[in-house]
Amino acid sequence: MQPLNLPCRRSTNTKLPVPFFVPVFVLLLSFASRTSSCTEQERSSLVEFLEGLSKDGDGGLGMLWVNSIDCCQWEGITCSSNGVVTDVFLPAKGLRGSISPSLSNLTGLLHLNLSHNSLEGTLPMELVLSSSIVALDVSYNHLSGPLQERQSTYSSLPLQVLNISSNFFTGQLPSTTLEVMKNLVALNASNNSFTGPMPSSICNHAPSFATLDLCYNTFSGIISPEFGNCSMLKVLKAGHNNLNGALPHELFSATSLEHLSFPNNGLQGVLHGPNLVKLTNLIVLDLGSTGISGEMPDSIGQLRRLEELHLDNNKISGELPSALGNCTSLKYITLRNNSFRGGLSRINFTQMDLRIADFSVNNFTGTVPESIYACRNLIALRLAYNNFYGQISPRIGNLPFLSFLSITNNSFTNITYALQQLKNSKNLTSLLIGTNFKGETIPQDEAIDGFEKLQVLTIDACPLVGEKSLSGYQGSQSWRC
């Protein structure tokens, strides 16, 4: 089963991927001994599925399956001890063609995984409405068309995990079908072309529902207050859609939330402190490029489990609350392109385990806080386009994994001293220090020598005095200011 989670990102496939992790579900393949062979009906259903594949796109199954009459011995097929087919596991087999609804005739089928193939056509709703399937994964295929509204003959379907991500589905998610998915735990419909409102009533019908990923679609409208009824919801991701309005107050009643992600939408409003503090289980908060404004509330410091904070490309202003230093689990923070002001020294970074920190394109002032150099696992630090000043601290050499540093467009001084300190960061590959060091003299070769892994160096727009070839720098032949 394709893992159902992670951030809203596109893949290198035809439809770019958003991996989906469901901690509450793990695909279990039965290893029961096969004391009897499958029935003729089950064999015929599998053969009909095979016939729906193109002759040169059956992944070699045509040759493999004909070697045995007992379909329990076929590749990708698992049976129970009494010969009932329980699992069809055929991911990444190079399958082409259509999915036959005959698979719904496998009355004991529990897990169906056809992900990472090149299957086309529609998804047979007989599979979605199956009376036995608990996990259905057809992600990363070329399936298309709308999911048809179909009445189920069952008042409650056994389906727990549905992964239809990275296809070409259109239209709205079928509401009548969702209403009978009372055992649903996880739904991944990301990377498609679904329209209409988000399916907000899903938790009213499925009380154990925990994961919803709708990234990279064209869902529109507001975020419904009904999501506040999702008492078990842990992951809610709907980035890169056409959602608007503010985050409803009711949403913060879903206190089990660990991952809340709405990047690249047309939202508005502010981060309301009394609401935010309710989400004490939050690990990832991604509201980048949503249009939110106001100031960062002090209550952010009470999110002790928070590991990722994405608030980039918004209209947030004011000073950072010192309480942010209480987020000791924080590993990734990006506040790029906002209107923050004041000094970063308000924050005590000592207890944090930062890996990536982006404070660029704001109005921060003062010196770089010494406490940030206590984050020994820091990989990338972006401070560009602010009003920082002073010299580079020798403590920057305490960051053994620092690979990327950008301090462009500030007012740092003493370029020779800066380079002498920076070359102690042995893993530095990208160094962007342009538009600083005004009126200083170009450093001598010995200041540059030692940057053994440096691949990118920019010292553009520096009004330095003189012209010099940097023979010690491995990344390019020469530079000029």
Phi, psi dihedrals of residue 101, rounded to the nearest 5°: -65, -5
Q: How far is CA 60 from the centre of its chain?
A: 34
Contact status, residue 206 vs residue 181, Cβ threshold 8 Å = yes
Is residue 373 located within the same domain as residue 396?
no
Is residue 398 located within the same domain as residue 473?
yes
91 in a structural domain: no
Q: Using one digit for the tens of pLDDT, what is the confidence trace for 129-149?
A: 999 999 999 999 999 999 988
What's the pLDDT at 10? Answer: 58
What's the pLDDT at 37? Answer: 82
The boundaries of the domain holding residue 450 are 391-481
Token duo for residue 318: 């004011």
Q: How many CA atoms lie within 13 A of 218 on its CB side?
A: 8
- Nearest-5° angle of CA 76, CA 78, CA 81? 165
313 in a structural domain: yes
156 in a structural domain: no
Of 321, 342, 377, which one is at a domain's C-terminal end?
Answer: 377
More confidently predicted of 151 and 332: 332
Bridge-based pairing state of the strands 85-89 and 96-98 = unpaired
Of 377, 409, 432, which one is at a domain's C-terminal end?
Answer: 377
325 in a structural domain: yes
Token duo for residue 378: 């820091």
Is residue 364 located within the same domain as residue 318?
yes
Predicted structure pTM score: 0.89
What's the pLDDT at 481? Answer: 40
Average pLDDT over residues 277-304: 97
What's the pLDDT at 154? Answer: 75
Is residue 416 located within the same domain as residue 349?
no
125 in a structural domain: no
Asked if pLDDT for residue 12 goes beyond 60, the answer is no
Please report where in the chains the tokens 């601290």 appear, as a residue.
393
402 in a structural domain: yes
Asked if pLDDT for residue 90 goes beyond 60, the answer is yes
Q: Using one digit for the tens of pLDDT, what is the confidence trace for 429-440?
A: 999 999 999 888
Q: Using one digit for the tens of pLDDT, what is the confidence trace for 269-286?
A: 999 999 999 999 999 999
Q: Using one digit for the tens of pLDDT, what is the confidence trace for 94-123?
A: 999 999 999 999 999 999 999 999 999 999
Token duo for residue 376: 């020994």
Asked if pLDDT for residue 13 goes beyond 60, the answer is no
pLDDT category at 182 given cuts 50, 70, 90 is very high
Q: Using one digit for the tens of pLDDT, what is the confidence trace for 25-48?
A: 333 344 443 345 889 999 999 999
Q: What is the Cα–Cα distance from 288 to 120, expressed in whole angstroms?
A: 34
Asked if pLDDT for residue 297 goes beyond 50, the answer is yes
What's the pLDDT at 149? Answer: 84
Is residue 298 located within the same domain as residue 369?
yes
460 in a structural domain: yes
Is residue 408 located within the same domain as residue 475?
yes
Is residue 395 located within the same domain as residue 472?
yes
Residue 51: enclosing H or E segment and its boundaries? helix 40-51
What's the pLDDT at 459? Answer: 85
Is residue 403 located within the same domain as residue 481?
yes
Burial of 213 (0-12, 13-18, 19+ CB in 10 A): buried
Is residue 325 located within the same domain as residue 361?
yes
Average pLDDT over residues 332-336: 98
What's the pLDDT at 367? Answer: 97
Give the CATH number, domain containing residue 293. 3.80.10.10
Is residue 473 located within the same domain as residue 395?
yes
Of 377, 400, 427, which one is at a domain's C-terminal end?
Answer: 377
Give the chain's domain count.
2
pLDDT category at 318 given cuts 50, 70, 90 is very high
314 in a structural domain: yes
